[in-house]
Amino acid sequence: MARTIGVLAMEHLAVGVVEDNRIAGAIHVFPEKGGDADSLRDVPGDEIADIIRREVRLVSQGADPAALGVGVPGVILDGVIAESPNLQQLKGLALQTTLSAAFPGAAVRILNDADTIAAGIAATRGELDRLVRVWTLGTGIGYGRYPEGPGMGEGGHMVVTLDPKERYCGCGGVGHLEGIMGHRAMRLRFLDLEPEEIFENARQGDERCRDFVKLWHRALAGATATSIHFDGPGKFYITGPNAKFVDTPLLNLYLQEMVKMSPLQGSFLEVLETSDAIAIIGAAVSAARSSARAGSS
Ligand SMILES: [Zn+2]
């Protein structure tokens, strides 16, 4: 039987077969743990496409997959990676065309990595019938939603402050959420402290760090409030390596201060640990669902 395959291409590649919203078999990871290279950071874009093709062929055991979904960081336009600030060699890569040529029988779908996580959360928690939004907190800040909305989906670059001095975002834009919350941005702001130390110092009462931790939470509350004012209230998940810094009660308090119209209230933020598996499932489910939609129209 033709398989549905999901791929997550971030600092590493993770590929798996998905059946009934679950991973079937083992997840293939590249570069392998313990190998020479530890990330895709220095691998050229064309080579990354080759590696994806090879891993998918390996996982699909020779037969073309029925549906193939790939989550990558950046702006995806018609299957082309139009921009990818944190994995810049992907910019301009026509990944959908390349993979469709390699797997002619497959419905290929390229998605933003945060959207694959939102889809994966929806699929694994039985929430495919409602709006699921997710913030991913890492080097950069991702904003994902399921179902995918029209538009660029770059909510991590939402403007959350008008202070012209706020210019630490990886994209170069002024006042962005990522410029406050992103791991890279935090290191640029506190040249003498790692993010872990900033949050630890804040706990111990250091004023500069405490002020920043408040700003960090207000920025996320502000971006969430903006999403609510556009798309309505609902459930927001927070995930990624830096979700561990989130003080959920504080965040919900700030959010309540920012959203006052009664039809827009009732949103909820939850920190949720996710894995490669969630993103793989999300990529596969999105590809399978879009091919089912295309088939029925
Ligand atoms: Zn930005």
CA of 189 to the centre of ligand 1 (A): 15
How many Cβ atoms sit within 10 Å of the Cβ of residue 129? 8
Helix locations, the chain, DSSP H: 45-60, 95-102, 113-124, 177-181, 183-189, 195-203, 207-231, 248-258, 276-296
Report the relative pairing of strands 80-83 and 75-77 from DSSP bridges.
antiparallel
CA of 75 to the centre of ligand 1 (A): 12
Q: What is the pTM of this model?
A: 0.91
CA of 90 to the centre of ligand 1 (A): 17
Output the six-digit token pair for 247. Answer: 């003080």
pLDDT of residue 1: 59
Mean per-residue pLDDT, 99-112: 94
How many Cβ atoms sit within 10 Å of the Cβ of residue 295? 8
How many Cβ atoms sit within 10 Å of the Cβ of residue 162? 8
Query: Confidence band (pLDDT; 50, 70, 90) for 297?
Result: very low
Give tens-digit pLDDT for 216-232: 999 999 999 999 999 99
Burial label for 205, CB within 10 Å (0-12, 13-18, 19+), is exposed
pLDDT of residue 37: 67
CA of 164 to the centre of ligand 1 (A): 13
Distance, CA of 77 to CA of 108 (rounded, Å): 14
Give tens-digit pLDDT for 28-66: 998 887 766 678 888 999 999 999 999 999 998 878 899
Is pLDDT of 107 > 80?
yes
- What DSSP string describes 122-169? HHHTT-TTS-EEEEEESSSEEEEEESPPSS---GGG-B----TT----
% of the chain residues with pLDDT over 70: 97
Query: Confidence band (pLDDT; 50, 70, 90) for 150?
Result: confident
CA of 219 to the centre of ligand 1 (A): 13
